[in-house]
Amino acid sequence: MTDLCDLTAVELIEAYEARTVSPVEATRAVLERIEKIQPRVNAFARVDADEALRQAAQSAGRWARGEPRGLLDGVPVSVKDILLLRGGPTLRGSLTIPEDGPWAEDAPAVARLREHGAVLLGKTTTPEFGWKGVTDSPRHGVTSNPYDAGRTAGGSSGGSAAAVALGAGPLSLGTDGGGSVRIPASLCGVFALKPTYGRVPLYPASPFGTLSHVGPMTRDAADAALLMDVITGADWRDWSQLAQPTGGFRAALGGSRGGLSGANSGAHSGALSGLRVAFSPALGGVPVDAEVAVAVRRAVGVLAELGAEVEETEPGFSDPVEAFHVLWFSGAARVVQPLDAERRALLDPGLREVCAQGAAYSALDYVAAVDARMALGHTMGRFHATYDLLVTPTLPITAFEAGVEVPAGSAHRRWTGWTPFTYPFNLTQQPAASLPCGLSSQGLPIGVQLVAARHADALVLRAAHALYEAGLADAVRPPAPGAASASSNSARPAGS
């Protein structure tokens, strides 16, 4: 019998419809999985098992009557501890936030989950206020990688990535202000989409402004499309939200998840026919690990086999890290501005450093960063007049030691030094996804990033779905829960 924790959300809904599985059975299995993995990876900040089982029982009753509430009725879902979840505290990884409520409001995307009958498991871990690209915090400690507990899960949605990778619910909501769903997705071997800014309503507004997006973290692109059809519902609390998309994301996928006998099978050879793809292996000169480079190039080869017209080229911009730092560090400074000296002493030391830097910027510095951002957006707009997709590595490296901001020996002090492929597309607000494309010789996941023009979220999902159907990610599986390290993973290495 298939382990219920291995089923995708799409497969769970099919099983509920067929009456072969109940939401209570699925939720119990996921809660047992959480108990098993939590000591190893620390993916959850809070789990409310009683409430999850209550919701599952209600869902089971609806399915028994043939009256499911919505698209996710009975599917277990977790929520990053940045987003409000009614009934419990949202602590954002910080000792500065008191647990007393009232906690009476859901974030817009969480409200849509509830309306569609999802079973809400609890909150996943995040670095303090989601400020960096790894997941450790003064409040909840270090979150580890599902493939090797001594390595980082990435961040800032690291708890969500680890949970999804290890079967602790097929769906999770993350946030992404500089790569925060794509970074951990790449390091943990799962799928993540940063949608076009405003596509998923956000409330309260992020202190990081229009850099921060809410996005799905899932097993595959089909589950992400299903989740997007739920969380893109309108919410008046976000004044910057986009209009509800027409047609739906699942309908735009094409194909079926039956899978192929191998990535070179011709069964779906025309799935991406005519798609214009630009492949940038180093985004103008980023040093990329050799195994990462091989795996990403292999993924691009699969795109070509699926009918895409691939050209190796560069989008033509220089690293916008300084502009990003001004905007990001200023936002961090705004987060802690209300705190007195006693509470500031409780902050992550690295966060205190970037807040001090952010507070030192002038208004002119900020406006100059906005100017740089607009110029970058113009460059990418022109680029996408020629190319439908830009493909890059998601990260230039695989997972490194847990509990540190940068890899040992790095020339950089901050997490942006090893994430140059992700934060540019927060500046431009474009949709960007990461999906697994292989494993390193150490058994660690490698991610490939797909980027499209603003509003072309459905295109990113369709291309990613075609890659899943072609079997690109089939070899990327974490060790069984309870396994000690990546060395026990027998999946084939990248490029093999």
Which pLDDT does position 30 carry in this prediction?
98
Domain encompassing residue 72: 4-317+378-488
In a domain, 85, yes or no: yes
What's 211's DSSP letter? G
In a domain, 96, yes or no: yes
Write out the DSSP string of 456-495.
Answer: -HHHHHHHHHHHHHTTTTTT--PPPTT--SGGG--SPPTT
Domains contained in the chain, number = 1
Residue 286: Cβ-neighbour burial (10 angstroms; 0-12, 13-18, 19+): middle
Calculate what percentage of the chain has a pLDDT beyond 90.
90
- Are 415 and 405 in contact, with CB atoms under 8 Å apart? yes
Q: Which of 22, 59, 78, 80 is catalytic?
A: 80
Dihedral pair phi/psi, residue 320, rounded to 5°: -90, 25
The pLDDT of residue 421 is above 80: yes
Position 455: which residue type?
A: H
In a domain, 238, yes or no: yes
The CATH number linked to 154 is 3.90.1300.10
The pLDDT of residue 259 is above 50: no
Positions of E strands within 245-348: 276-279, 309-312
Positions of E strands within 195-285: 213-218, 276-279
Which pLDDT does position 255 carry in this prediction?
62
| Lowest mean pLDDT, pick from 221-225, 260-264, 429-433 | 260-264
**What CA–CA distance (Å, rounded) separates 173 from 81?**
9
Q: Which of 22, 156, 186, 434 is catalytic?
A: 156
Which pLDDT does position 25 carry in this prediction?
98
Span 430-487, pLDDT tens digits: 999 999 999 999 999 999 999 999 999 999 999 999 999 999 999 888 887 765 554 4
Which pLDDT does position 492 carry in this prediction?
33
In a domain, 323, yes or no: no
Cis peptide before 156 (omega within 30 of 0): yes
Neighbours of 87 (CB within 10 A): 12
Span 97-149, pLDDT tens digits: 999 989 999 999 999 999 999 999 999 999 999 999 999 999 999 999 999 99
Average the pLDDT over 205-213 and give the result: 95
Which pLDDT does position 486 carry in this prediction?
47
**What CA–CA distance (Å, rounded) separates 205 from 217?**
21
**What CA–CA distance (Å, rounded) separates 457 from 454?**
7
Q: Is 180 a catalytic residue?
A: yes
Which pLDDT does position 233 carry in this prediction?
85
Which pLDDT does position 483 carry in this prediction?
57
What sign results for the dihedral spanned by CA atoms 113, 105, 423, 440? Answer: negative
In a domain, 328, yes or no: no
Which whole-number Å values give the CA distances from 195 to 53, 208, 212, 233, 253, in the listed order?
Answer: 31, 16, 10, 14, 15
Q: Which of 94, 180, 186, 280 is catalytic?
A: 180
Span 143-166, pLDDT tens digits: 999 999 999 999 999 999 999 999
Average the pLDDT over 204-215 and give the result: 96
Which pLDDT does position 244 carry in this prediction?
86
In a domain, 355, yes or no: no
Span 270-308, pLDDT tens digits: 899 999 999 999 999 999 999 999 999 999 999 999 999
The model's pTM: 0.94
In a domain, 130, yes or no: yes
Average the pLDDT over 53-66 and give the result: 98
Q: Is 156 a catalytic residue?
A: yes
Q: Is 123 a catalytic residue?
A: no
Calculate what percentage of the chain has a pLDDT beyond 70.
94
In a domain, 400, yes or no: yes
Residue 27 is encoded by which pair of tokens? 């939720």
